[in-house]
Structure 1
Amino acid sequence: MEKRKINIVDTTLRDGSHAVSHSFTIDQVTAVAEGLDKVGVSLIELSHGDGIAGSSVNYGFSKTNELELIKAASKVVKNAKLTVLLIPGIGTIEDLQEAKENGAQAVRVATHVTEADIAIQHIKYAKSIGMMAVGFLMMAHMASPEKIVEQAKIFMDCGADYINLADSAGHMLPDDVRARVSALKNALDIPIGFHSHNNLGLSVANSIAAVEEGATYIDATCRGLGAGAGNTQNEVLCAVLNRLGYDTGVDLYGIMDVAEEILEPIMQRPQVINTASLMLGYAGVYSSFLLHTYRAAEKYHLNSRDILVELGSRGMVGGQEDMILDVAYELAQKTKQ
């Protein structure tokens, strides 16, 4: 029986940007991108952690302009599709055009799980200029399978090549993933992808659950580098998928070498599940909030766990990073009373 193909989408140079405070250099990016391309990764995602044009006061400034990084990576990526993330309201159609001119071949347009309609124009534009376009639904734990299907159909109807479901908080359990991916699989006639965070230690298990329910695009990063406790660890995922009999098209020894010899020396710290990142998953808070929360806790002399629980109770979502300081300030005032 022919093995089912699983496309590996490596987001080390995008989600991993959060974990290094957006400090990737041209030399680092070209080394990682070239390594990933040579070992058979299907898509290589590169941008600021919050997408193209994310470099800002709110989200953190990039050490090197992302357009320069994209242009440099495009010179060494020969087989994979060089991909960018775009969050409407942060990035614009003009930013997408510039990314395309600098070598990007695909875009994943990311919205909150209930707000797919704000991405219609971006997906249509991407298709009109010859790019692969993906509808990316963030914070998927915050919506029912039925609601997710409704939102995914908005993406599908405007031309998305596939739908990517993101457990942005690392909050979901395998059964949560199964329910959502199976609902999409039964309702759509385009492929489904899945993006996981490891805040509860379940990213590989959740990714396998997605595959077993029909997902064919799975996000991962070398060494698990990413926001919060990181993403699904690429070399581990490929090993598990190989053992299960799936075809990733990725050279297993090769991806191990990229992770150990190229990526690991760049990392500022090991990617582990510490107390704060565990709390992200437990409270269902957006993973990229972690470093912002650390800074707010230090500024106002608070326990970062208290801030994260409060953010979760308020249903904060990606794009509201600027509110973290406000929440911390309010908590600090209460402690003084």
Structure 2
Amino acid sequence: MSSKFRILDCTLRDGGYYTNWDFNKDLVEDYCKAMEVLPIEYVEIGYRSISLDGYLGEYFYCPEYVMKRLKSFMPSKKLVIILDEKNIRPEHLNDLLEPCKPYISMVRMAIDPKNFERAIILAKGVKAMGFDVAFNVMYMSNWKENSTFLDLLEGLEDTIDYFYMVDSFGGVLPEDVKEIIELVKSKTNVPLGFHGHDNLEMALINTLTAVENDCVLVDGTITGMGRGAGNLRTELLLTYLNSKNILNFDFTKLSAVVNDFELLKNKYKWGTNLPYMFSGAFSLPQKQVMEWVGMNRYPIGNIVNALNNQKEAIQDNIKLPLLEGKEDFDTAIILGGGPSAKSHSIAIQKLAANHSKLCLIHAGARNACTYLDVSNKQYFALVGFESEKLLKTIGEDFSKLKETCVYPPFPRHMGTIIPDKIKTLSVELETINFTNASSDSPLVIGIQIALDLGIKNIFLAGFDGYDTAIDNTQFVLAQENQNIINDALKIKDVSILSITPTKYKKLKVTSIYSII
């Protein structure tokens, strides 16, 4: 294998998909000092971007002080930033790139093939400012079916310095790498690069294949930290090259920075799994899989089912009867999964027993056993793997289950898998019409059940909220619940109160003990 190729590490840029582009300053300093002594020529430190909606952190915008600081830690390295072409136009370049000139050697551009012509115009503006330019062209696994954009490479040798093939879905195999390299080489003499994702755990062999077929620049990230299943692990590539006497370096420095990022990996859990493998094998979008896995609402089986439905162009696996709104109820207690739904269960059951026109609506399956013997009509709002959890929770008491299991409206974006034991008890909502905050939250389904039943008085119990020390998943769920509650409180002629303690804002609280 030739030793003429070079390595680019893009941990801070690609890893930012897990941290929202915020990293601990000491971690970044240690990372930079390791990069400085390792045989890595380029270090991509993040994005440069115009202002976008929502919070995106320090390494998404890379203000000048960040570039200056990182260059001071890595004076011998060629620093790189990347522009997301879909957001950047030529008129943005001066403001974005002029501050980069003292620190940045190369500007990469993330490009959707359908925007290739537009990207060329942008690249000419970047090149005119004195930077090396690299095209990072996405969706490599689809190029053999649609390669017409590659015809536009003719004559760009003076505009772009590297043409990167990006295996966005992590689904190409070594023979695909060879074929696509030959295809690209038939169109241009621009030096080639390769960026591999690891959905099928092929990132290393694909990268080595790319090098053997004349790629001169390849990417990696420490511990593979990167979007979805992640990338080629920089430490794996370096270790392999060391074993072949191609590169020599200090393993102590490498192991120290790897250890730092392994701690992050324990928290964010990047790396491949069955959903990422499936999406890679069939070139399905990674962003959605990352959201599904990160929410921890859906089991692997549901995620794979949803991906298979996408592959087969199926809307959903099953259409259920609609929930009928003919019941004579005036009050509903919606039971959340918080501890207060169990700790105050005796009082809640007393309230139910004294009110024949009251129904219980379970936002999930957690408290099924606690209320199994309540004679009032009960409904279960089920999403994700709640149906399986319901059966597991009830266990041998399944014969007592006479309740209605209610699912989101058809089609459900995750598809639907319903255990045979509860199919005859299962119905679906016709629509979610009071909020756009979610279509498959147990809370949103629970409130919609109450509305469809014509209920005007809704009590919430077990929606405790979270303490300040919460992880990212809990934060997302808490924010989703808050948005649902905010919209529910706007519903005309419907009263919504919490009868147990809650940390959710705007939600009025009355004590369960004051009304029994």
TM range (shorter): 0.7 to 0.9
CA shift, 1:166, in A, is 0.3
1:331 to 398, 412, 418: 412
Sequence identity of aligned pairs in percent? Answer: 20
For 2:53 and 2:155, locate their aligned partners in 1 and report how far apart those are by CA, in whole Å.
28
For 1:251, the equivalent position in structure 2 comes to 249
**Misfit runs of 4+, over 6 Å:** none
Matches within 5 A, 1:118-137: 118-137=118-137
Q: Residue 153 and residue 262 in structure 1: after superposition, are their counterparts in 2 closer, same or farther (change >3 A)? A: same
C-alpha change, 1:30 and 1:218, in structure 2 (3 Å) is same
Q: Which moved more, 1:188-197 or 1:264-273?
A: 264-273
**Secondary structure in structure 1 of the residue aligned to 2:190:** coil
* 8 Å contact from structure 1 (residues 114, 143) kept in 2: no
Write the mapping of 1:45-64 to structure 2, written as runs, cut at 5 A.
45-48=44-47, 52-53=49-50, 56-57=53-54, 61-62=56-57
Structure with more helix by fraction: 1
Call closer, same or farther: CA 1:272–1:239 in 2, change over 3 Å: same
Number of equivalences: 317
Match of 1:320 in 2: none
RMSD: 3.4
Distance in 2 between residues matched to 1:106 and 1:90, nearest whole Å: 19
Shift of 1:89: 2.2
TM-score by length of 1: 0.80
Instruction: Please state how far the C-alpha of 1:215 moved relative to its aligned partner.
Output: 0.7
Q: Distance in 2 between matches of 1:41 and 1:329?
A: 51
1:72 is the counterpart of 2:69: yes
Q: Is the 8 A contact 1:199 1:273 kept in 2?
A: yes
Residues 234-274 of structure 1, C-alpha deviations (whole Å, 9 max, x = no match) = 1111222344454x5x6262662353244333443454322
CA distance in 1 between partners of 2:75 and 2:174 (Å): 35
Amino acid paired to 1:52: S
Do the aligned residues in 1 keep the contact of 2:157 with 2:189 (CA within 8 Å)?
A: no
User: Any gaps of 5 or more consecutive residues in structure 1?
Assistant: 315-327
Where do 1:87-166 residues align within 5 Å?
87-93=84-90, 94=92, 97-102=95-100, 103-144=103-144, 147=147, 150=150, 153=153, 156-157=156-157, 159-166=159-166
User: Does the CA-based 8 Å contact 1:37-1:79 persist in structure 2?
Assistant: yes
1:14 and 1:47 in contact (8 A); partners too: yes
Q: Is the 8 A contact 1:293 1:307 kept in 2?
A: no
Unaligned 5+ runs, structure 2:
314-408, 417-427, 430-516
Describe the shift of the 1:16–1:55 C-alpha distance in structure 2 as closer, same or farther (beyond 3 A).
farther
Q: Hey, what's the Cα distance between the residues in 2 that align with 1:101 and 1:259?
A: 29
Q: In structure 1, what is the Cα distance between the partners aligned to 2:206 and 2:278?
A: 18
TM-score of the superposed pair, with normalisation by structure 2: 0.54
Aligned equivalents of 1:34 and 1:227: distance in 2?
A: 24
Match of 1:280 in 2: 279
Instruction: After TM superposition, give the deviation of residue 282 of structure 1 in Å.
Output: 2.2
Q: Distance in 2 between matches of 1:77 and 1:142?
A: 37
Partner of 2:425: none
Q: Which one-letter code corresponds to 2:161 in the other structure?
A: D
Highest CA radius of gyration, 1 or 2?
2
**Distance between the aligned counterparts of 2:257 and 2:220, measured in 1?**
12
Is this contact kept in 1: 2:108–2:134, CA < 8 A?
yes
Check conservation: 1:11, 1:221, Cα contact below 8 A.
yes
Higher relative contact order (CA 8 A, sep 6+): 1
C-alpha distance in 2, partners of 1:331/1:133?
43
Amino acid across the alignment from 1:90? N
Q: Distance in 2 between matches of 1:148 and 1:45?
A: 29
Measured after TM superposition, the shift of residue 223 of structure 1 is: 0.9
State the 1:198 CA deviation.
Answer: 0.4
The alpha-carbon deviation at position 114 of structure 1 amounts to: 4.1
Deviation per residue, 1:201-228 (Å, 9 max, x gap): 1110111111111111011011111112
Which residue in the other structure is 2:170 paired with?
Answer: 170
Q: 1:95 to 1:173 in 2, by over 3 A?
A: same
| Amino acid in structure 1 at the alignment position of 2:412 | L
CA contact (8 A) 1:228 1:289 kept: no
Amino acid across the alignment from 1:141: S
Q: Following the alignment from structure 1 to structure 2, what is the Cα–Cα distance between the partners of residues 184 and 245?
A: 30
Match of 2:402 in 1: none
Contact 1:40 1:80 in 2 (8 A): no
- Which residue of structure 2 lines up, in the alignment, with residue 30 of structure 1? 29
> In 2, Cα distance between the equivalents of 1:54 and 1:39?
34
Q: Output the amino acid matched with 1:66.
A: C
Q: Which deviates further from its counterpart, 152-161 or 29-38? A: 152-161
Distance 1:3 1:27, change over 3 A: same
